[in-house]
Amino acid sequence: MSSDITLLGHGIVFVAGILAGFVDSIAGGGGLITVPALLAVGLPPHLALGTNKLQSVMGVGTALRKFRGSGLVRLRDWWLAVVCTFCGATAGTLLIQQMSPDQLTWSIPVLLLAMLIYTLASPKLGATSSRARMDRRLFQVCGGLVLGFHDGFFGPGTGAFWSLALVTLVGLDLRRATAATKVMNVTSNATALVFFALGGKVVVTVGLAMGAGQIIGSTLGAREVVRRSPGFVRWFLVASVGLTLAKLLWDKFF
């Protein structure tokens, strides 16, 4: 299949990867850019979804490395979430290859709309750390299983769901929530990638070309998160949730 994608097609996905990596490292939502780009250069949907996981692992992994180096996240603090995310993502990825996620086309937009309203109505959301409303271990188990399953099965909004949950339930500020989100994102994307690859649904050359762009974009985006205030991340989160919601509704009605 890779031989069917022209050199120009590889260049297009490389540029798309840069933009997606920048956006995704700050607030999530990079899939809104990468999946349409992969479809546009000629990949059928099943290959686009699998190839998207390859480039996503490269981009999110780059952002996570930057956040670890800056001290915004420690992997040992989230090991339980990693284990549960792996289990959830495995179940979701195996299930989606057997059935359609159509039943989620209404529930996810409703949740995203609620998140958008809540974020807009809370101007100081995640500006500073706050008191945790849920035991962190319990949160890691529940969040890992549920959001890991969602990322493996459906995907849209996963990063935003993690970030907002970490702010409201664990009490992290938005910068640290964004950094912690990448730990679980890497886990669920890598898990899904393994199963897509075993099913022959990954076009390696295209994924690597887009992943190279992701590395550049993610490096730039993660640098902005480290340098700027949580308010900067909040507005990127609003934009990411709003665009994801708009795309899902567009796909549903048009």
pLDDT value, residue 104: 58
pTM of the model: 0.83
pLDDT value, residue 247: 80
pLDDT value, residue 108: 65
Centroid of chain to Cα 54: 13
Distances from the Cα of 31 to the Cα of 10, 59, 118, angstroms: 17, 11, 23
Over the range 232-252, which residues count as b (16 or more CB within 10 Å of their CB) and which as e? Answer: bbbebbbebbbebbebbeeee
pLDDT value, residue 103: 59
Q: Where are the alpha helices (DSSP H) in the chain?
A: 7-27, 31-40, 45-70, 79-96, 104-120, 136-153, 158-165, 174-198, 204-227, 230-253
pLDDT value, residue 177: 92
Identify whether the C-beta of residue 21 lies closer than 8 Å to the C-beta of residue 217: yes
The total of structural domains in the chain comes to 1
The residue range of the domain holding 21 is 2-253
Distances from the Cα of 147 to the Cα of 20, 133, 221, angstroms: 21, 18, 23
pLDDT value, residue 101: 56
SS3 at position 128: coil
pLDDT value, residue 178: 92
pLDDT-flagged residues of the chain (< 50):
none
